[in-house]
Chains A and B, each alone.
Chain A
Amino acid sequence: MPNWIAVCMLSDIPVLGSRRVARDRGPQVALFRTADDRVHALLDRCPHKAGPLSQGIVFGDAVACPLHNWTIALDTGCAREPDDGRTPVFQVKLEEGQVMLDRDELDTVGIDLPPVAAGPCTRATC
């Protein structure tokens, strides 16, 4: 049984837009709202180079990653061909205008993935 918790109202997510949900550990979770008011949740991390999917353009049932334009299906998390890869999907429930996620999934799914690096190297050996 999912352990549903409310994270925001449907109206907090722009139509054809997204919001991010922060977690104590691991990458954030991206919420997407389609034109017909369905909400999908994906790990906010493109399977390609970990781009933040929440920042992409949402169209139909997909989002285009803002980094390299991979197209990820919102319902399955799968990249559309010719690309190949999958990003974890979170269960979502809409109830009386509230967007609900599963607490247990939030606490466990994709929390161990390493952060993406850029910029000056911080390791001592550099």
Chain B
Amino acid sequence: MSTTRMKLVMVGNGMAGVRTIEELLKIAPDLYDITVFGAEPHPNYNRILLSPVLAGEQTLDEIILNPLSWYDEHGIRLHLGKTVTEIDRVRRQVVAADGTTAAYDRLLIATGSNPFILPIPGKDLAGVIGYRDITDTQTMIDAATRYQHAVVIGGGLLGLEAANGLMRRGMQVTVVHLNDWLMERQLDDQAGALLRQSLQDRGLRFRMGAQTEALIGDADGRVMAVRFRGGEEIPADLVVMAAGIRPNTALAERAGLHCHRGVVVTDTLQTVTDPRIYAVGECAAHRGIAYGLVAPLFEQGKVCANHLAQFGIGRYLGSQTSTKLKVTGIDLFSAGDFMGGPGTEEIVMSDPFAGVYKKLVIKEDRLVGACLYGDTVDGSWYFKLLREGRRIADIRDKLMFGESSLGDVGHEGHHKAAAMADSDEVCGCNGVTKGAVCKAIKEKGLFTLEEVRKHTKASASCGSCTGLVEQLLMFTAGGDYSATPKKKAICGCTEHSHQEVRDAIVDHHLVSMADLFRHLDWKTPNGCATCRPALNYYLISTWPKEAVDDPQSRLINERSHANIQKDGTYSVIPRMWGGETSADELRRIADAVDKYRIPTVKVTGGQRIDLLGVKKEDLVSVWKDIGMPSGHAYAKALRTVKTCVGSEWCRMGTQDSTQMGKDLERAMWRMYAPHKVKFAVSGCPRNCAEAGIKDVGIIGVDSGWEMVIAGNGGIKTEVAQFFTKLKTADEVLEYTGAFMQLYRKEGWYLERTVHYVARVGLDHVKRRILEDHEGRKALWAELQFALDGEPDPWFEFSKAQVDLRQFEALSPPAPAAGAQTAPSLPVRVNV
């Protein structure tokens, strides 16, 4: 076995490279014999956390990501403290400075970057260092115990973190910065000025716009002063050069690999010169960009591992990044094009006295940049809007005041994370607290939502706390981690997002699960419990009467057309049109309750009767005896249309809301949707049917009907938004149906209407339904076509593909009385 394995050599033992190996071991553990060369004498550590180490907030031991035992366990040959000096592409081997060689079939270059050392006299004096690795950090810590004056050249992210750390260790620190304000690549002048003020208040000194001319040494060859252009000198026992980094491409260049701002790689992370050689991390230039933050590097690692494993799917398409400074107590956030300029508009809020500054940059009705100082609570929300490229016209007036100003934002949970206490529960399904999530993120070094799910279970069940967990990840892990891919995959089985899958189904006319898996290169043979129900819904909603429904990809409630309960029994909710019933129906229900010993009968919040505790074996008979249509209370479908009594009985009623409710329910009752759907119809503005918190609410007024949409009474109450005013009952049907069809076509699986409308914008829905008359009629016709002839699973078993075998248990033959005769097969249950 081992003789046939291919050889993978990695040069560089940093975060990006080792992450790639980790990903590779996950998916193809036996494919390669792996050799790793690391120039540093340490195993893989978390370079991002060097700043907290310098500041004395963490120890070196705490930032080790993969101890030596990890390399052993995976059979990785590790050469520490050996610098690779040559790649022999003809013989396919690498040579280290000490003469060690290693042959490769695939080579991974992950040499990272070097600090940029200013080419000035005195740069080689003792006490002059860059800020890059453990040795530099240790040098700074040591210097702080012996010397007084430190000068940090460079007022960027790294320089300020170094300056803050040295100051925390008791040195007097001056930051020298060429530009007029700090962190000019992440902040505008105003935010930069606020940052400088608050660092100055903490004791840092600044020389802005100062150009360093030379470093002056003492008799022992150690630096003692910094001289600026103009001749002025300030004392310096330690000089940290933090004026930027340069991709470390020397080795690759010597090997003849094309380099331009890094080792140039393709979307598959292969070097353009030699496809056997890959490059990831800060040394690599992808589409002209060498990323210096960790999340993009991890994305690269994932794609690279996929190709090394010979799966050949997945491409790296670049990342959006955002920034946060790791200086305790200073909140700043920036992302995207925060400077603005021609063609952009800016919304600015400035309160220098309180130390708060916010700038949002908008281009063509989309948020393209954000720069926040002092109050960064909404950073993650802005970043989300930016990444998703959502239109913001409808929320523009409130944008500056943050997500909480929008009122109900649903269970997506943004803006809540920062304010929560450690003991507060994040994930209600699994009882996971904020403290537990944050602890796992810190201690286990988690970087992605998938990892948090895996280690803590938070957000792994119903998923309603996903947004909150993402935000915790961002807050806890810091800005370096917060750069996330532009799109979010449906689940771990694929790289594709919900929208990409929807588009592919439409564009390529995919009609079966197998088509989908093949066409979209699904990574798993038959998906998982997360993606399959979504894919199945997308197929049948896109191509009604054509796509093949896959019952095994439906959750049990839909497969057995009843709600599973905690003890494995089921509940049955018959459909009562508009909430109205009759003595006859009630009698049949009561008889069934007696006959099947159903323990609980309860009226639901949606005006229907729930029979709880029905055994699975009895379900078919209970349906038959009750003789009422399916309530679809188990499905992602139209559940109920709640009504008041309206003009028929109520002295206030202006319209016949009960009839309207019945008509709506009869028109759409078999409609599957991305999530459950509830309507309500009230006969007058007193709104007794509570139409204001439904997916569609219809409210009778003297002159007709008012229609509100995208409300939700669920996990978090969402008030529906006014949509339009209608005159006739036929219009109510048409507009409601058209809105539903739009949601069915564009909504993502498990996305309620409120979140769907928030994503696409209310204006978009108005354009499609209110302004486009032909389009609206077409949508309504499409829905009617899809629903026409849809079977009632309670009475048309075979047409609804109900597998009746599921209701009966198999019974093994009775214990044989000593005989070894061939057992008789049990009777096959009805198919």
What's the minimum C-beta distance from A3 to chain B, rounded to whole angstroms? 8
Q: Are B529 and A12 in contact (CB-based, < 8 A)?
A: no
Q: Contact flags (1/0) for A44-63 with B, using CB distance below 8 Å? A: 00000111100111111000
Q: Are B555 and A101 in contact (CB-based, < 8 A)?
A: no
What's the minimum C-beta distance from B819 to chain A, rounded to whole angstroms? 11
What's the minimum C-beta distance from B750 to chain A, rounded to whole angstroms? 13
Nearest chain B residue, comparing its CB with the CB of A101: B812
Q: Are B812 and A17 in contact (CB-based, < 8 A)?
A: no
B560 interfacial contact with A, CB 8 Å: yes
A98 interfacial contact with B, CB 8 Å: yes
Q: Which residues of B contact A6 (CB under 8 A)?
A: 813, 822-823, 825
Contact of B568 among A5, A116, A120 (CB under 8 A): A116
A8 vs B813: C-alpha distance in the bound complex, in angstroms?
Answer: 10
Contact of A8 among B429, B599, B826 (CB under 8 A): B826
Q: Are B809 and A21 in contact (CB-based, < 8 A)?
A: yes
Q: Which residues of B contact A40 (CB under 8 A)?
A: none
Q: Which residues of B contact A52 (CB under 8 A)?
A: 564, 568
A105 vs B526: C-alpha distance in the bound complex, in angstroms?
Answer: 31
Contact of A60 among B429, B456, B524, B564 (CB under 8 A): B524
Q: Are A55 and B564 in contact (CB-based, < 8 A)?
A: yes
Q: Are A59 and B461 in contact (CB-based, < 8 A)?
A: no
A9 interfacial contact with B, CB 8 Å: yes
Q: Are B599 and A120 in contact (CB-based, < 8 A)?
A: yes
Nearest chain A residue, comparing its CB with the CB of B557: A66
B652 interfacial contact with A, CB 8 Å: no
Q: Are A17 and B564 in contact (CB-based, < 8 A)?
A: no
If A49-B566, A98-B825 touch, whether A64 touches B529 (CB-CB below 8 Å) is: yes
A69 vs B461: C-alpha distance in the bound complex, in angstroms?
Answer: 6
Chain B interface main SS type: loop
A103 interfacial contact with B, CB 8 Å: yes
Contact of A118 among B454, B524, B565, B828 (CB under 8 A): B565
What's the minimum C-beta distance from A113 to chain B, rounded to whole angstroms? 13
If A51-B568, A68-B429, A82-B457 touch, whether A12 touches B805 (CB-CB below 8 Å) is: yes
Q: Which residues of B contact A117 (CB under 8 A)?
A: 567
If A7-B812, A8-B825, A82-B456 touch, whether A57 touches B555 (CB-CB below 8 Å) is: yes
Q: Which residues of A contact B461 (CB under 8 A)?
A: 68-69
Q: Which residues of B contact A56 (CB under 8 A)?
A: 529, 556
A22 interfacial contact with B, CB 8 Å: yes
Q: Are A103 and B526 in contact (CB-based, < 8 A)?
A: no
A73 vs B524: C-alpha distance in the bound complex, in angstroms?
Answer: 15
Nearest chain A residue, comparing its CB with the CB of B455: A82
A33 vs B475: C-alpha distance in the bound complex, in angstroms?
Answer: 44
Nearest chain B residue, comparing its CB with the CB of A8: B810
Contact of A119 among B454, B533, B567 (CB under 8 A): B567
Q: Are B810 and A12 in contact (CB-based, < 8 A)?
A: yes
Q: Are B810 and A19 in contact (CB-based, < 8 A)?
A: yes
A14 interfacial contact with B, CB 8 Å: yes
Q: Which residues of B contact A71 (CB under 8 A)?
A: 529
Q: Contact flags (1/0) for B788-831 with A, using CB distance below 8 Å? A: 00000000000000010110011111011000001101101100
A6 vs B595: C-alpha distance in the bound complex, in angstroms?
Answer: 34
Q: Which residues of A contact B677 (CB under 8 A)?
A: none
Q: Are B823 and A5 in contact (CB-based, < 8 A)?
A: yes
B211 interfacial contact with A, CB 8 Å: no
Q: Which residues of A contact B815 (CB under 8 A)?
A: 103, 107
Q: Contact flags (1/0) for A67-80 with B, using CB distance below 8 Å? A: 11101000000000
Contact of B527 among A59, A67, A101, A119 (CB under 8 A): A59
Q: Which residues of A contact B823 (CB under 8 A)?
A: 5-6
Q: Are B529 and A57 in contact (CB-based, < 8 A)?
A: yes
Q: Are A21 and B556 in contact (CB-based, < 8 A)?
A: no
Contact of A55 among B454, B533, B556 (CB under 8 A): B556
Q: List which B512-542 residues lie within 8 A (CB) of chain A.
A: 524-529, 532-533
Q: Are A118 and B528 in contact (CB-based, < 8 A)?
A: no
A89 interfacial contact with B, CB 8 Å: no
Q: Which residues of A contact B825 (CB under 8 A)?
A: 6, 8-9, 98
Nearest chain A residue, comparing its CB with the CB of B824: A6
If A17-B803, A67-B566 touch, whether A59 touches B526 (CB-CB below 8 Å) is: yes
Q: Which residues of A contact B829 (CB under 8 A)?
A: 12
- Contacts A/B (CB < 8 Å), 11 sampled: A6-B822, A16-B526, A19-B806, A21-B811, A23-B812, A28-B809, A57-B533, A82-B457, A103-B815, A119-B612, A120-B600
Other than A15-B552, A49-B566, A81-B455, give 17 A-B pairs with Cβ distance below 8 A. A5-B816, A8-B826, A12-B828, A12-B829, A17-B551, A20-B810, A52-B568, A55-B560, A56-B529, A57-B532, A64-B528, A66-B564, A67-B564, A68-B430, A98-B825, A116-B566, A118-B566
Q: Which 5 A-B pairs have the closest CB atoms?
A: A64-B529, A118-B567, A22-B809, A55-B556, A57-B529
